[in-house]
Amino acid sequence: MYGRERWERIENEILAKEATHSIQSKGRKYEEKECDMRTCFQRDRDRIIHSKSFRRLKHKTHVFIAPEGDHYRTRLTHTLEVAQIGRTIARGLALNEDLVEAIALGHDLGHTPFGHTGEAVLNDLNPKGFRHNLHSLRVVDYLEHKGNRPGLNLTWEVRDGIRNHSGEFKAHTLEGEIIKIADRIAYINHDIDDAIRAHVLKLEDIPREYLEILGESHSDRIDTMIGSIIESSQSMEKIQMDERVGEATLDLRTYMFDHVYYNTTVKSEDQKVRIILEQIYNYYKANMDKLPNEFLIHGENELSDDDRITDYIAGMTDRFAIHCWKDLFMPRYWSTM
């Protein structure tokens, strides 16, 4: 018996009846022969890991722009932490870990350079707006390539989880719901760690009532949140924390927005980022023929100039965006000084 068939049988034996079994997937846009060794969700995970957009995450800001130090989170390390938290929750509830991991690894592929500041700039510049979760879906559906076809041809369930991991969107699988809450657990906790490292925050600044419920340390807080989810989601009606832990988590998130995400030190580089991205955007808007050829010749003839420019800029890493700006606007002599 090949690996895929054996694992599909194992899923039927060990997963909860509410889990998304790989053999029951709604399939792919383009029909493909099944892999002998891997289930469809394992295959999706591997396609994401091997994509160019996944590799670029290591040079994309999460919160702190151009930090001095090697230990601040990037978009890639955030993604890996979401995957770890998501898999732990899935295992505790006997849901499909492979599906959770695939969604986690793909959920931020569409994020811009310079974190949410970059997202806000593109949202302002593109008349249609910009949402990173929707652009992540565009990345896996079109901008990445598998062979001669656009996109990675991922399963419906992985695509649904990527699209619906953020904001008011709601996933149609329990595994997709896990990623939405795992994303929040990851960024709240690792952003506390980074904020303390950056001297923006001290642990003793955080209201005691939150820490008494959630825990003093990074690992204690994550354990509390995950344990609450596993305990409170046994009915499988939804993925949720108990009321006490859930309220403390929301309060801590609000505290982080007030004291870290909107902190003047953290936001000090935002205006520079806005200038860089706005000038790049406006340059290509006036000089579409200068846009890289791959963004001009692809088959979506209905695509607007704004969308083509957005595709290009959203895929940039922080350092590539800076290099692009220097190349377009800084005299070459100055750039060598």
CB 255 within 8 A of CB 207: yes
Q: Minimum mean pLDDT among 38-42, 135-139, 267-271: which range?
A: 267-271
DSSP 8-state class, residue 33: P
Q: Is the pLDDT of residue 302 over 90?
A: no
pLDDT on residue 66: 60
- pLDDT at position 238: 96
pLDDT for res 185: 97
pLDDT exceeds cutoff 80 at 131: yes
Q: Give the span between the Cα atoms of 337 and 321, in whole angstroms.
A: 20
Does the pLDDT of residue 56 top 60, yes or no? Answer: yes
Tokens 């520079």, located at residue: 272
Q: What are residue 146's DSSP bridge partners?
A: 149
Nearest to 240 by CA among 253, 227, 252: 227
The pLDDT score that the predictor gives to residue 65 is 66
Position 184 pLDDT exceeds 90: yes
Average pLDDT of the segment spanning 23-46:
95
What single string gives the DSSP state of each residue in 94-139? Answer: T--HHHHHHHHHHTTTTPPTTHHHHHHHHHHHSTT---HHHHHHHI
Q: Which of 11, 35, 36, 37 is nearest to 23 (CA)?
A: 11
pTM metric for this prediction: 0.95
What per-residue confidence (pLDDT) applies to 42?
Answer: 97
Distance CA 159, CA 275 (A): 33
314 pLDDT band, cuts 50/70/90, is very high
Element (H, E) at 93: helix 75-93
The share of the chain scoring above pLDDT 90, in percent, equals: 83
List the chain domain ranges: 3-19+35-261, 270-335
**Sign of the dihedral through C-alpha 299, 303, 305, 311:** negative
- pLDDT over 90 (residue 311): yes
The residues, ordered by sequence, that sit 6+ positions from 105 with a Cβ below 8 Å of its Cβ are 45, 48, 49, 54, 79, 83
Q: d(Cα 153, Cα 48) in Å, to the nearest integer?
A: 11
What is the average pLDDT value for the chain, to the nearest integer? 93
Q: Which of 44-53, 120-129, 145-154, 167-176 has the lowest mean pLDDT?
A: 145-154
The Cα-based distances of 191 to 57, 216, 257, 287 in angstroms read 17, 15, 10, 39
Q: Taking Cα atoms as reference points, which of 57, 59, 64 lies closest to residue 82? A: 57
Mean pLDDT, range 192-219, rounded to an integer: 93
The token pair that represents 78 in the structure block? 């955030």
What's the rounded Cα separation, in Å, for the pair 40 and 19? 15
Q: Which of 197, 226, 158 is nearest to 62 (CA)?
A: 197
Rounded to an integer, the average pLDDT of 260-271 is 84
In the prediction, which pLDDT does 297 show? 74
Q: Are 110 and 104 in contact (CB under 8 A)?
A: no
Fold of 3-19+35-261: Hypothetical protein af1432 (1.10.3210)
Assign 331 a pLDDT band (cuts: 50, 70, 90). confident
DSSP 275-320: HHHHHHHHHHHH-GGGS-GGGTSSS-TT--HHHHHHHHHHT--HHH
For the ranges 117-121, 207-211, 300-304, the lowest mean pLDDT is seen at 300-304
Average pLDDT value for residue range 180-192: 96
Q: In this structure, what are the phi and psi dihedrals at residue 146, rounded to the nearest 5 degrees?
A: -125, 105
The predicted structure's pLDDT at residue 194: 87
